[in-house]
Copies of this chain bind each other. A is one copy, B any other.
Amino acid sequence: MSKFKVSIIGATGYVGAELVRGFVAHPDFEIKDLTSRSFAGKAFSDVYPVFRGVCDIVLSDKDPSEVGKESDLVITALPHGVSSATVPVLLETGVRVIDHSGDFRYKDLATYEKSYKLEHPHPELLEEAVYGLPEFYRDELGTARLVANPGCYPTCSLIALAPFLKNNLIKKDTIIIDAVSGVSGAGRKADLAYAFCEEDDSFKPYGVVGHRHTTEISEKCSFLAGGKSGDITVTFTPHLAPFKRGMLNTIYVRPSEDFKDVSAQTINGIYQDFYKDEQFVRVLPEGTMPDVKAVAGSNYIEVNGVYDADTGMIKLFAAQDNLGKGAALQAIQAANVMFGLPEETGLKDMVRGV
């Protein structure tokens, strides 16, 4: 079987680099084009020396339409607002697209436009775009033309919340998501705020009200609960921690009346049952909580939970790599589904080790 051709537009950010890392080791995809406005003409491995001898493709500034014609799959790792203009050009070439921005993640146009403070040039694509969380939208991915790769925080919290939302086990108006991300989530840029001497030993909240992922999480929670956009509004607070990759969500919710016999054991059992066929969702043993370290560099996400009987509060925990399951490797998982490959292809054994 010849390999599928995948191209990456905007290949020199951290998400782009992680896509490259995944695809060079993938048995069924080969990289066709890597584009970059800033670094066109340089080898990818000049931008990321870790790839010397592994991926020395020369970055181009080809037009998206040209890239689309040469590829079976194009992945866009572009800023929001840029994606919404680029993706339609790609789709016209007939190529399938996975987009990493927020531009196609929402079903509700008004929520998108309010959250991103942009007018969407192609709202007709919102309905068509498939939200690229394979665990919940696997069937739609198989035939999708356009996949909106989920945000990192939304992936983490939705995986943690889904079993409880789908089965009406939690009160929908009490969801609090306290989240922590590694510094790579801020992207690759020369910015004093992310300088080593400023970030090392730092830990702080940011975007404390109105972070864009709040509405993305809220809409998808609404859908998981069987409702419509706007039904659920979550409380969400992101923090920045001094490590490069990884993300932890600590979620506080109250059980609904349907949740009888709440305990660490029943919570764990619900997870075990719900995710028993999922390869990338690790339901940890009862009493063992997720750790960012265990999933960094991989497409795995860990979940578990406990019940605080003294306050009647359920605590759910999920850990993933913000660039892995939270971005690039999840896109590869989705690509596997889109192209009829076993979902774990090229991803199963990718772990960081010590």
| Chain A positions near chain B (C-beta within 8 angstroms) | 14, 17-18, 20-21, 24-25, 48-54, 173, 176, 178, 180, 183-184, 188-192, 194-206, 208-209, 214, 233-235, 237, 239, 241-246, 248, 250, 252, 264, 279, 282, 284, 288-298, 300, 302, 306-308, 310-311, 313, 315, 317, 319, 323, 348-354
Contact = CB atoms under 8 A, between A and B. Distances in A.
A353 to B, nearest CB: 4
A295 B205 contact: no
A203 B279 contact: no
Given A233-B310, A241-B242, 16 more contacts: A20-B353, A21-B353, A49-B288, A51-B351, A52-B302, A54-B348, A183-B196, A201-B246, A204-B293, A205-B290, A208-B306, A209-B306, A235-B252, A235-B315, A242-B242, A245-B354
Contacts of A183: 196-197
A302 B188 CA distance: 24
Nearest to A53: B282
A200 to B, nearest CB: 6
Nearest to A349: B25
A279 B53 contact: yes
A18 B353 contact: yes
Contacts of A317: 205, 208
A190 B188 contact: no
Contacts of A311: 173, 233-235
Nearest to A344: B53
Contacts of A252: 176, 178, 235, 252
A205 B250 contact: yes
Contacts of A289: 204-206, 208
Contacts of A205: 248, 250, 289-290, 315, 317
Given A190-B191, A242-B241, A250-B237, A354 B293 contact: no
A20 to B, nearest CB: 8
12 contacts: A21-B351, A50-B351, A50-B352, A51-B351, A52-B302, A176-B176, A194-B196, A195-B195, A196-B242, A202-B293, A208-B289, A208-B306
Contacts of A180: 180, 203, 239, 241
B194 A197 contact: yes
A237 B180 CA distance: 14
B308 A209 contact: yes
* Chain B CB within 10 Å, residue with most, of A197, A201, A354: A354
B244 A250 contact: no
B354 A18 contact: yes
A313 B239 contact: no
* Chain B CB within 10 Å, residue with most, of A202, A306, A313: A202
B201 A243 contact: yes
B353 A300 contact: no
Contact of A197 (B282, B288, B297, B354): B354
